[in-house]
Amino acid sequence: MSLLQISEPGQSPAPHQRRLAAGIDLGTTNSLVATSRSGVADVLPDIDGYHLLPSIVSYTKGQPAIVGRVAAAAAVSDPLNTIASVKRLMGRGIEDVVQTGNKLPYQFTKSEQGMPRISTVAGDVSPVQVSSEILKALKLRAEQSLQGELDGVVITVPAYFDDAQRQATKDAARLAGLNVLRLLNEPTAAAIAYGLDRGSEGIHVIYDLGGGTFDISILRFSKGIFEVIATAGNAALGGDDLDHEIAKWIMAQADISGDASHSQMRHVLSEARIAKEALTNQTSVELRIDLDKGAVWQGELTRKQLETLIEPVIRRTLAPCRRALRDADIQVSDVQDVVLVGGTTRTPLVRKLVGEFFEQPPLVDIDPDKVVAIGAAIQADILVGNKNDGEMLLLDVIPLSLGLETMGGLSEKLIARNTTIPVARAQEFTTYKDGQVAMMIHVVQGERDLVDDCRSLARFELRGIPPMAAGVARIRVTFQVDADGLLSVDAIEQTSGVSSHIEVKPSYGLQENEIEQMLRDSMDHAESDVESRRLREAQVDAKRLIEAVESALAVDAEKLLDCEECQKINQALEKLKEAESSSSLEEVKRLTSILDKASAGFAAKRMDANIHKVLSGHSVTDFDNK
């Protein structure tokens, strides 16, 4: 008689045990982690049920970094030590950061490698380190949800990320202790999530406008092959730019000078973002900005005014769309459908302009915030070995041309942009003077003809060339781009066999010894860091609640509370204040909960009083006529 091996529903017995994999969308504004279970991919929430993790990291002296919603609360009160939109700084040199048009509320220092470092009370940190803190938080969320250690992850990056930005992302993942199966372009991940590879054959467009980056990718599906045929975009254009346009308008209306304090700038930007999001569903929104010396500015922003402010920024995304169509050699009429990705695509004007450009309403079936993470999770499930990938063949492309510097400072392209990866290309070069025994090889990336107009990726030397007449030596240079879009270069002199090799890394990336030391430190203190972070987050929540209750009591206690209610709240308040700096996580959370419950009735009375004040003197018909 044959024996059956039985397992619990959703689980598999060895030797067919599923490996744990996840997809990570490391976003400018928010980040997410998703996984595929029982053939269905979904985004994983935190313990409070939130799927989005704000990509914000707050640093405190002598404490582990705080990530997410708690960190976001400190953005206005402590802007210099609270890092947001760090994705825009990834893989960038200090000169790139200084040249950005928007004022960044941080103090930058330059490292020996040219990478910008942000000064905080916890010491100088690089964008790679800040991103690693976000990835650590997502890793912890995934492992707690899946009850096991991750075997591998797929991390998404903008299609227009260059080699330096991709390498910086991989450095951050290594620092977070993650095994990166692949870096996947965000538009490609979105296409996977929509299942376009299993749909009808034809041309599909992915329009991806996130918080800090924009990508447009054109894909062709034919006979089971999922091919990216063109991509374009801007790695420094996104929802943050809409926020800055609104903030400039608010500052002009409120007469706030351009050299306002970091805290004031963060406050205005925060209000601008809230107004932008509110106007997605409303036609107008009230604004209130706290000014210096206790003054307050109040105003109104309508959706029409908003669209006037942001339309020039959104129209900047249409030029890459035209370029991608031209590169793909297709017309708008050839496009079968358009998929919107990224939280900024919720803006009604974005959907209107995209629909007009492509002459059809875009697809918004899947939450634009979640679609990239879901696609990454599906791909991770395949790459980790849980799922047969025979039904789906991914052919992605590189976003920018790769080449070498030749005589006269010219760029000789070896691999053209929109070339399918992985790919290897070789070309022969020669010496330019008699007796030359070495050659400096300068690797560049970009579309311009002059090296000065392209991005320098790496320099290395080929030595030991036999002395020959100029033009006799035959030096074969080979470029190889892997599935992550990362480049390695080999050079060999054909007659002698001397060779040289380099794996291209940005000159301002982390050094190997830095990464190794940080990894050792993170492993040595992993358990204590988790506990310290949880305690610090609880202490911050307690402090915020104390300040809110004290402020409310000072204004409305006499009007709304009797002696018994006031005494009960004050007792809970004093106990929490005494325990606020306690080293006991359970005690801080317990007393916070007690104060929260004790003050709930008071909060409800304040809300009712405010509503009554607003409605006072009006009739229902007053509001009907507006």
Q: What is the pLDDT of residue 314?
A: 93
How many folded domains does the chain comprise?
Answer: 3
Domain that holds residue 572: 526-615
Q: Is the pLDDT of residue 565 over 90?
A: no
Length of the chain: 626
Task: State the CATH number of the domain containing residue 283.
Answer: 3.90.640.10
For the chain, the first-to-last Cα distance in angstroms comes to: 80
Which one has a higher pLDDT value, 422 or 24?
Answer: 24
**Mean pLDDT across the chain:** 81
| Same domain membership, residue 502 and residue 409 | yes
How does residue 14 score in pLDDT terms, banded at 50, 70 and 90? very low
| Same domain membership, residue 591 and residue 566 | yes
87 belongs to the catalytic site: yes
| Same domain membership, residue 404 and residue 500 | yes
Q: Is the pLDDT of residue 26 over 90?
A: yes
Q: Is residue 362 part of a domain?
A: no
Q: Is the pLDDT of residue 623 over 60?
A: no
Which sign does the torsion angle of CA 154, 158, 160, 161 carry?
A: negative
How does residue 448 score in pLDDT terms, banded at 50, 70 and 90? confident
Q: What is the pLDDT of residue 11?
A: 46
Report the pLDDT averaged over residues 139-165.
Answer: 88
Report the pLDDT averaged over residues 172-188.
Answer: 90
| Same domain membership, residue 558 and residue 602 | yes
Q: Is residue 53 part of a domain?
A: no
Report the pLDDT averaged over residues 74-84.
Answer: 83
564 belongs to the catalytic site: no
Task: Name the H helices within 120-185.
Answer: 127-146, 163-175
- Per residue in 384-435, pLDDT (tens digit) is 877 665 455 566 777 778 888 877 677 888 888 778 778 888 888 887 677 7
| Same domain membership, residue 533 and residue 499 | no
Report the pLDDT averaged over residues 288-308.
Answer: 86
| Same domain membership, residue 498 and residue 412 | yes
Q: Is the pLDDT of residue 619 over 70?
A: no
Q: Which of 252, 283, 314 is the last residue of a domain?
A: 314
How does residue 610 score in pLDDT terms, banded at 50, 70 and 90? confident
Considering the chain, what percentage of its residues have pLDDT values greater than 90?
21
Q: What is the pLDDT of residue 463?
A: 84
Q: Is the pLDDT of residue 132 over 80?
A: yes
Q: Is residue 622 part of a domain?
A: no
| Same domain membership, residue 504 and residue 546 | no
Q: What is the pLDDT of residue 513?
A: 53
d(CA 589, CA 608) in angstroms, rounded, equals 28
The two structure tokens encoding residue 395? 């052919």
Q: Is the pLDDT of residue 134 over 90?
A: yes
Q: Is residue 560 part of a domain?
A: yes
Task: State the CATH number of the domain containing residue 576.
Answer: 1.20.1270.10
| Same domain membership, residue 568 and residue 490 | no
Q: What is the pLDDT of residue 5?
A: 41
Q: Which of 513, 544, 569 is the last residue of a domain?
A: 513
Q: Is residue 437 part of a domain?
A: yes
Q: Which of 289, 314, 339 is the last residue of a domain?
A: 314
Report the pLDDT averaged over residues 147-152.
Answer: 90
The string of DSSP codes covering 289-323 is EE-GGG-EEEEEEEHHHHHHHHHHHHHTTHHHHHH
Q: What is the pLDDT of residue 431?
A: 77
Task: State the CATH number of the domain containing residue 445.
Answer: 2.60.34.10
Torsion-angle region of 114 (φ positive above 0: left; ψ -120 to 50: alpha; else: beta): left
Catalytic residue among 46, 78, 162, 208: 208
Which one has a higher pLDDT value, 513 or 543?
Answer: 543
490 belongs to the catalytic site: no
| Same domain membership, residue 587 and residue 538 | yes
| Same domain membership, residue 608 and residue 507 | no
| Same domain membership, residue 444 and residue 548 | no
- Angle at 576 (CA atoms; ends 570, 581), nearest 5 degrees: 145
Catalytic residue among 46, 87, 337, 387: 87
Catalytic residue among 46, 78, 162, 186: 186
215 belongs to the catalytic site: no
| Same domain membership, residue 489 and residue 417 | yes
